[in-house]
Amino acid sequence: MLDSRLCRSFLAVAETRSFTAAARRLGVGQPTVSQHIRRLEREAGGLLFQRDTHAVDLTARGQAMLGFAQTIVDTEERAARHFRGTQVRGRVRFGVSEDFVLEEVPEILRRLRRSHPLVDVELHVELSDVLARRLAEGRLDLVLGKRRPGAPGPARVLRREPLVWIGSTATVLEPGQPVPLVQYPMPSVTRQLAVEALEHAGLEWRAACLTSSLTGLRAAAAAGLGITVHARSLVPDGLIELPAHLGLPDPGEVEFMLLLRDATEGPAAALADFVVAKLGEE
């Protein structure tokens, strides 16, 4: 049987593609994670990761190890829950900004299901400011969203993320013409920051497309109707970061934040732990 500590380090590196981020997630030093991976590679009989100065990728042997390592960690967690005699149960009302839904949230919910199978989830997808208002009104228990850097309020800041201008290979910006924007409706943090960046740079803009969903934004931008700003790590498939030679101003940064309604235990707190582990590691 493979050592579960080694498996946890392996899974953390596989998910974050970073030894440094994995160490932060696990609360240990990077040398400890590196040592665990070397030990696991000796037991596996070969390299699990292909490393260079820019990237950490799974080898074919590492891909094969994923299922075995996850099974070992899951089994250990189920045994711990059984013998502790306590399981978190109940319902959590989880509000999520749509930017996170396709990439980040599925993994967060998979971890929740594995560790707390008796927790039920109501998933609400909306703009961050709308979700924050609903939480304040008592209609949500937990919100994962975005906000301006340094904005006031009792949010837990997970990390700051640079915003980038995105479009597609069909994107054309005509010299001397207003910049065409694909926008979410107000209140939208990224819309406000995009408009402010353009106006501060003295550039005119026009609302080329207004959409209330990420699917609509992606379709409009992919068709070349206009451009928008997005957190760099969350750029949707099919869209690209636009090159600097287009002369677009720096749109700044955004904060990924977590809001929790007075809960230190129970389903909301359990889910919050997985959100922090996934998004608070960089």
State residue 123's pLDDT score: 94
- What domains does the chain contain, in order, with CATH numbers? 4-84 (1.10.10.10), 90-156+256-279 (3.40.190.10), 161-255 (3.40.190.10)
Residue among 162, 152, 157, 150 nearest 197 (CA): 162
User: Quick check: 281 pLDDT over 60?
Assistant: no
Model confidence at 1, pLDDT cuts 50, 70, 90, reads low
Q: How far apart are CA 40 and CA 206, in angstroms?
A: 55
Q: For 28-63, write each residue's pLDDT tens digit.
A: 888 999 999 999 999 989 999 988 777 888 999 999
User: Is residue 178 very low, low, confident or very high in pLDDT (cuts 50, 70, 90)?
Assistant: very high
Could you read off the pLDDT of 162-176 as tens digits, one per residue? 999 999 988 888 888
Mean pLDDT of 193-217: 92
Looking at the predicted structure, is the pLDDT value of residue 282 above 60?
no
Predicted confidence band of residue 73 (pLDDT cuts 50, 70, 90): confident
Predicted confidence (pLDDT) per residue in 108-139, tens digit: 898 888 888 888 999 999 988 899 999 989 89
Please report which confidence band the pLDDT of residue 81 belongs to, taking 50, 70 and 90 as the band edges.
low
pTM of the model: 0.69
Q: What is the pLDDT at residue 263?
A: 61
DSSP structure string for 33-86: HHHHHHHHHHHHTS-SEEE-SS-EEE-HHHHHHHHHHHHHHHHHHHHHHHHHT-
**Closest CA relative to residue 228, chosen from 121, 44, 89, 99:** 99
Amino acid found at 233: S
Length of the chain: 282
Give the tokens for residue 101.
């839904």
C-alpha torsion sign, points 199, 201, 204, 210: negative
